[in-house]
Amino acid sequence: MSVRRHVIVDAQQSVDAPLTGNRVQGTAARYAVNNRKYVRSQDLVQVVQQLDVSNDPQWTQAVMQWVRDYYDAQGGGTIIGLFSTCYLGSPYLDHKMDLLGNIIEHYPSHETPPRPFSSARTLARSAAYEFIEIYDDGTVTPVRADGQPVL
């Protein structure tokens, strides 16, 4: 393949097009969004990486409560859940941690996760992101292994 350098046409279009349709309105919401710039702790990253370690319901509930408390303390708005690669192996591809529904569910590649988690699936395929945060305003925020969010 040969890629030629060329200045493209629709630079502004891509600049203006948000990943999700919902534009956050209002001062409180803007404040919450502005609060999402913090670097996620390594504890959080490790917890998300180890979701597949145990299927003990008590342990799962404890982990979810910990994650919920962590996000509440940051003041970055209401988080619906996290979506990330599943390490259980075939046929499972990824899983969601539904913090509102209080459940962890694993999905094979042929099964589409429910909305809004489905919008995070393509991003979760990228090795550059450790997990994807999904907020109630529709924002989908990937987080890198070093805890840096992509806003």
Partner 1 sequence: MNQINFGPILRKVEETRIILDRHIDDVEVQIGDVSSDLSDTRSDVAELKSLFETFLMRNERQRLIQLAETKKASLKDELDRSFGHYSVVRRTSVGMLQAFDVGNVRNNTVHQISEELMIQTPRYWLAPALVGLAAWSKDDKELAEKSVEAAFGRDPKKTSLFFALVLRRQHRLGEAARWLRHYFQSLDAYHLTREFAILQEAIAQAAFGPDGKQLVMENLETWREMLSMEPEIEEKQVSQWVGEVDTHRGRINDEDFPKLSQISPTWSELKEMLEKASAHEFILEKYVQVRDTNTPLTGSSADRLDDLLDILVTEYDAEELPLRREVLFQDSIIEHDGDEVRAREQADLNTQALDETLDALSLQTQTAFRPHLLGVSTSSQKIAVSASRVYFERGISRYTKEYRAKAPHEAALDFDRSHSNYASQYGFTHWSTTTSVPQEQVETGLREHWDSVMHRYIESMRFTIKQVILHIFVAVLAVLLGIALFNAWQLLGLLVLIGGAVIPTYLIHQKKKNADAAVEQAEKTREKAKDVSIQLYREASAEWVDAKLDYDDADAREEDVLDMVKGWPL
Which residues are at the interface with partner 1 (CB under 8 A)? 1-12, 14-17, 19, 30, 33-34, 119, 122-123, 125-126, 128, 140, 142, 148, 150-151
What is the rounded CA–CA span in Å between residue 48 and residue 3?
38
d(CA 28, CA 42): 28
Beta bridge pairs of residue 85: 94
Of the pair 31, 66, the CB lying nearest partner 1 is at 31
* Cβ at position 66, least distance to partner 1 in Å: 26
Q: How far is the CB of 36 from partner 1 (least distance, A)?
A: 11
Least CB distance to partner 1 at residue 31 (A): 9
Give which of 21, 25, 26, 37 is closest to 139, Cα–Cα.
21
Residue number, 18 or 101, with CB nearest to partner 1: 18
**Angle of helix 42-49 versus helix 57-74 axis, rounded to 10:** 150
- State the nearest-atom distance from the C-beta of 38 to partner 1, in Å: 13
Least separation in angstroms between CB 103 and partner 1: 24
Instruction: Decide whether 55 or 109 has the Cβ nearer to partner 1.
Output: 109
Identify the three-state secondary structure at position 45. helix
Task: Give whichever of 8 and 73 is closer to partner 1, judged by the CB atom.
Answer: 8
Of 57 and 128, nearer to partner 1 (C-beta) is 128
Residues 94 and 107 sit within 8 Å (Cβ to Cβ) = yes
**Are the C-beta atoms of 103 and 55 separated by less than 8 Å?**
no
